[in-house]
Structure 1
Amino acid sequence: MKVLHVNAGLEKGGGLSHIVNLLTEANRQDADFELLTLADGPVTKAAKKAGIKTTILGAQSRYDLTVLKRLAKFINNGNFDIVHTHGARANLFVSMIKKQIKAKWIITVHSDPLKDFEGRGM
């Protein structure tokens, strides 16, 4: 079973910790998976440092919908059985292309409010 994990890549809270820990363990188990981030950021850097196979889709902004076609193509060309999205933007983007992809789609919602909203007021 081949799994693609998708994340925006910009998180620095609970999502980052969970994704990197999960995929580090998957690496130890020789699981067949990849990580795709929509943009370069903390998740991408931490994953690469942990030796996790990571691809950056190259979104130019948080609202760059031009990546949708590339995302669907990456999923279908990669012959993934499962697409596992982590985080609100990854969930939204895959929801917009779900009828165009062959893989099954699952979602995990992550949150660590003390880190996710750090420095942004209450």
Structure 2
Amino acid sequence: MKDHSTVFIFIDDDTTPAAALQTPVQFKLDTNKLTDGIHTLKIVSKDPAGKEGIRVIPFEVRNGPAVAVEGIKENAVVDGIVPLMINAYGKGDQQSFIITGSETPQSIPFWIYVLIISFGAWAMYYLITSVAVKLV
């Protein structure tokens, strides 16, 4: 009779387990073999008495290049011509990081323009009132 539980690891809806291991288990999930998107890790355990337990863990794989889009949000209602800025960049591998193209340029938010104009107006007001006081 076995003294350890057995775990069966399933990926998505596969009927064949990716691994069948005796506990305790250290398992490395290679996401490079999976497509980008939502997946499910299902772990079925069977103890020596024959009882089963199941744990389902949803996860998202994002191995491919990251895609950044500015100019439209998800589920947006748009009209006319919509200018978009699109950037895609890979992260390299685990040993090196690709810096080229990894930053997505973004447009300056409207509130920054308001802040700069307000500061400029205040500076002009301060300069004019300071000169006027010194002349009097």
TM-score bracket relative to the smaller structure? under 0.3
Tell me which protein shows more strand as a share of its residues.
Answer: 2
As a proportion of its length, which structure holds more helix? 1
Higher relative contact order structure (alpha carbons within 8 Å, sequence separation ≥ 6) = 1
Q: Which protein shows a greater Rg? A: 2
